[in-house]
């Protein structure tokens, strides 16, 4: 049955290898089980329900990817997207988390339609690669600011807006230790470095009496507080159009980049650069995002950590199925997730920020019409505390720079239209 479903022999793999790859991928991305409830919980959402929604969304998304596309790619609620959900849409713009879930649902519907009608390539090709790298880097800097705040390393300052926090506090010291631990373990290529760091910092915090221990295993909490609680009507408000498109664009770029990177590493990409079953993979991803919004979590997307499973030999959807099963098993560890303090997940956020900021290395810094929009995009996100605003500033600056430099021909209709839309949005809403 497994051979018929996943064509193991054709991909030069076997069941044992695929299981090992699935376990490897799960260990590298399991930190989302602790980070996602911590971030979304700040909106007022029930953390226990968010934990269950995270497990189920990851299991559903990974299973759909494995069965439909037969790719060794796992899915879970995306980092950056969950921060945008909490800190921009809910805490920044003042919308309820129910409305934010509605925006996630609508963006997933648009993503699904783009995948069905194969418009994805046109949109992605319309946005310059440098601007896409800047968006990823900006999200990374945004996550870094949140991480430093959660750890108490950065604090509010009435004179300078932000300043140095209390580095002598247990939270700050443990967070710094956790980050250094991740760096060391990653350098030594130890699987699950982020997860290990979270558990070590949490354990030390409990032993030192800084945080409380809630247990390890229990029956899963109720999903009822978040299940089907999305407010689609509220998300259709004209002021949320930019939010819906921000969810869509970030998911679209993140997904395409992840799919291409992991598939290339797995040897699934053809010599001409074409990725077979790309359409199926995108449909699986958008379906997972739809399911996640109904369960009660931010956008579900493909995880670059899947590359760890590919390195362990994963080549088919069976790897993703193994990840799905492990996320279902994780449902019984809700008390452990509830015992993890915010400063224990801060190092994970900071580490993800490091990975996302690495895209800045691809920028052509000698071209000022490229460098200026990139820097504006990346800095605007943390400094305005809004991913959507950073994207808007990026589009506007790119079009303005190219136009004033007499290089209008380098622009396309899609980019110009987006810049005009962003100007109207910033001016009126």
Please tell me which residue, 389 or 406, carries the higher pLDDT value.
406
Burial 202-240 (b: 16+ CB within 10 A, else e): bebbbeeebbeeeeeeeebbebebbeebbbeebbeeeeb
By the 8 A CB rule, do 354 and 115 touch?
Answer: no
In angstroms, the CA 224 to CA 156 distance is 36
Q: What is the pLDDT of residues 83-95, one digit of tens each?
A: 889 998 899 888 9
In angstroms, the CA 47 to CA 38 distance is 7
On the CB side of 275, CA atoms within 13 Å amount to 20
**300-302 vs 75-77, strand pairing mode:** antiparallel
378: closest CA among 160, 139, 39, 144?
Answer: 139
Give this prediction's pTM: 0.85
Given the structure tokens 């760096």, which residue do they identify?
183
Name the DSSP letter for residue 410: G
Q: What is the pLDDT of residues 314-345, one digit of tens each?
A: 888 899 999 999 999 999 999 998 898 989 98
SS3 101: helix
pLDDT exceeds 90 at position 135: no
pLDDT exceeds 60 at position 273: no
48: closest CA among 223, 229, 195?
Answer: 223
- For the chain, the domains span 2-356
pLDDT of residue 429: 59
Lowest-confidence pick of 62-66, 226-230, 263-267, 297-301 = 263-267
pLDDT exceeds 80 at position 122: no
């Amino acid at each position: 049955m497994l051979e018929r479903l996943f064509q193991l022999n054709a991909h030069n793999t076997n069941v044992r290898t695929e299981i090992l790859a699935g376990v490897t991928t799960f260990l590298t991305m399991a930190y989302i089980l602790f980070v996602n409830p911590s971030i979304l919980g700040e909106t007022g959402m029930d953390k226990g329900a968010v934990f269950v929604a995270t497990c189920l969304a990851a299991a559903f998304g990974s299973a759909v990817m494995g069965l439909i596309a037969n790719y060794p790619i796992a899915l879970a609620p995306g980092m950056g997207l969950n921060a945008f959900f909490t800190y921009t849409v809910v805490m920044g713009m003042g919308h309820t988390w129910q409305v934010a879930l509605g925006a996630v649902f609508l963006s997933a519907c648009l993503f699904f339609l783009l995948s069905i009608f194969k418009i994805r390539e046109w949109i992605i090709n319309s946005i310059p690669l440098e601007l896409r790298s800047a968006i990823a880097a900006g999200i990374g800097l945004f996550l870094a600011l949140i991480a430093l705040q959660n750890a108490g390393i950065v604090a509010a300052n009435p004179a300078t807006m932000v300043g140095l926090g209390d580095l002598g506090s247990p939270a700050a010291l443990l967070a710094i230790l956790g980050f250094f631990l991740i760096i060391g373990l990653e350098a030594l290529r130890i699987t699950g470095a982020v997860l290990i760091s979270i558990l070590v910092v949490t354990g030390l915090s409990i032993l030192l009496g800084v945080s409380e221990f809630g247990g390890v295993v229990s029956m899963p909490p109720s999903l009822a507080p978040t299940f089907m609680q999305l407010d689609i009507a509220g998300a259709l408000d004209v002021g949320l159009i930019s939010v819906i498109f921000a969810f869509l664009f970030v998911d679209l770029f993140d997904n395409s980049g992840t799919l291409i990177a992991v598939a290339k590493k797995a040897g699934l990409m053809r010599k001409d650069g074409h990725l077979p079953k790309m359409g199926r993979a995108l449909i699986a991803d958008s379906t997972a995002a739809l399911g996640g919004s109904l369960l009660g979590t931010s956008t579900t997307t493909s995880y670059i950590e899947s590359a760890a499973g590919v390195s362990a030999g994963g080549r088919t959807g069976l790897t993703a199925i193994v990840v799905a099963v492990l996320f279902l098993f994780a449902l019984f560890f809700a008390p452990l997730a509830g015992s993890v303090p915010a400063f224990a997940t801060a190092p994970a956020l900071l580490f993800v920020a490091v990975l996302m900021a690495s895209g800045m290395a691809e920028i052509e810094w000698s071209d000022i019409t490229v460098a200026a929009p990139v820097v504006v995009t990346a800095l605007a996100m943390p400094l305005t505390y809004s991913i959507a605003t950073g994207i808007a500033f990026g589009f506007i600056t790119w079009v303005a720079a190219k136009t004033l430099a007499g290089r209008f021909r380098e622009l396309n209709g899609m980019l110009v239209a987006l810049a005009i839309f962003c100007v109207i949005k910033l001016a009126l809403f």
